[in-house]
Structure 1
């Protein structure tokens, strides 16, 4: 049963993706968009639960309709949400994404700053992190403070509790100040991971 399965905790961003209602068009060419839950770490948490595992999510969304929608989607998918925080000052992150005719994805992000970027170390549910058999995270949460410090503290707590660390670099260059900053940031935690998703 899922409740007896080892807990996998995902940490990072959860956002709303807006995708064109027709395929193969650039964002500017789309006449309408469909909203969809997104954020790689949150997607992993939902997938684990759907496959019969036990999962939890730690991250921050806005104290807004999209934030509560995303939290409810986690709950409906059987993901533990006691690690989700709501920010009254910042909005839930938004991303517009399309798959163009040439097969390349095009992204446009709205996070200036978004709530996920403002997660503080003091807001971490450390007890939940310590229960994790596997602690999974990406690189987006490394881009700016205070989330970077929260990310590092969460990794440290998980490792000290004996968790295996799972890392999805999830390269999104438009979010970083430069390609060099992205490379340095992503590689800065490379050697701590027990598992790394490479594509």
Structure 2
């Protein structure tokens, strides 16, 4: 297979050096690269896969830091656009005692929001590639048009399409707008990774299987519901199976979901070879192996601080078996 092309936000996460405190009480933060689609690209590259990132950063110190960080992980940054007009986005992350986190964003507007459809080049997309996107780049204009233009190109060229809703309600005008937009693009992806909380948000249905069946449709071939320490559940057109989680002592869950998606797409990139996604998923054993691998990537990421700095190398995952 070709490369994974991930489009969306690339920003600075300011991560507290101590957890369990509110934003007003934190005195020291560490600067780290973040942004879910960028994290996914970095996760794939750190595992040894081929990944490229499409997005816009400010032509400033933070933007240069982000580009260099991606380059050090092995991500192709030829498609990163720099803006002289808009600054790089910032997010302050507070870690609770249980490892969960809250975000405060500074991006009104930031460079990542100003990527245009005209800046997306059709020649970047090649046969055998995978296109991955999330919902944050669908919130505002013009980046929404850029995201949709990339989706159109991917569809026309027959690429596998991956979608992670990655709901961040603080960035939306209201919850209903978020729900409506995410539902519009859910069925336009072959692969969807969604958390159990996001699944309930979109459907209002407590029964997981019923909720997935309500959403499953369009070109969907694989929906993976992640449930943290409880593992994940695979849903395809033909079967459903649970996959347990690797037990770890979590200190920071930032980027864990992105590590999961990166692990899944890396595995697919390496193992699917010339067969179609439909044929690949016919093997329940192979699908389970893929999601188990992705789960280990996510679990390892929770044992380290930050997003990209916490992403595992392939040897880290192999050692966990």
Scaled by the length of structure 1, the TM-score of the pair is 0.94
For 2:94, which of 84, 98, 110 is the aligned residue?
A: 98
TM-superposed deviation, 1:99: 1.6
Q: Hey, what does 1:139 align to over in structure 2?
A: 135
Q: State how 1:74-85 maps to structure 2 within 5 Å.
A: 74-85=70-81
Q: Which moved more, 1:178-187 or 1:96-105?
A: 96-105
Structural RMSD (CA) = 1.2
Structure 1 match to 2:67: 71
Q: Secondary structure at the match of 1:43?
A: helix
Partners of 1:82 and 1:104 lie apart in 2 by: 34
Match of 1:192 in 2: 188
1:42 paired with 2:34, answer: no
Deviation by residue 1:85-123 (Cα, 9 ceiling, x = unmatched): 011111100000112235542110000100010000111
Offset of 1:159 from its aligned partner? 1.3
- In the other structure, the counterpart of 1:20 is 16
1:163 lines up with 2:159 in the alignment: yes
Q: CA deviation at 1:188?
A: 1.4
Structure label with greater radius of gyration? 2
More helix as a share of residues:
2
Residue 57 of structure 2 aligns to a residue whose secondary structure is strand
Alpha-carbon contact 2:62-2:88 (below 8 Å) kept: yes
Deviates more, 1:94-103 or 1:185-194: 94-103
1:50 CA drift (Å): 1.1
Structure 1 unaligned residues grouped into runs of 5+: none
> In 2, are the aligned partners of 1:94 and 1:111 still within 8 Å (CA)?
yes
Q: Relative CO higher for 1 or 2, CA cutoff 8 Å, sep ≥ 6?
A: 1
Superposition TM-score, scaled by structure 2 size = 0.59
More strand by share: 1
Quick one: distance in 2 between partners of 1:112 and 1:24? 28
Structure 2 counterpart of 1:152, from 134, 142, 148: 148
Judging changes above 3 Å, is the alpha-carbon distance between structure 1 residues 72 and 103 closer, same or farther for their aligned structure 2 residues?
A: closer
TM-superposed CA distance for 1:82, in Å, is: 1.1
Aligned to 1:58: 54
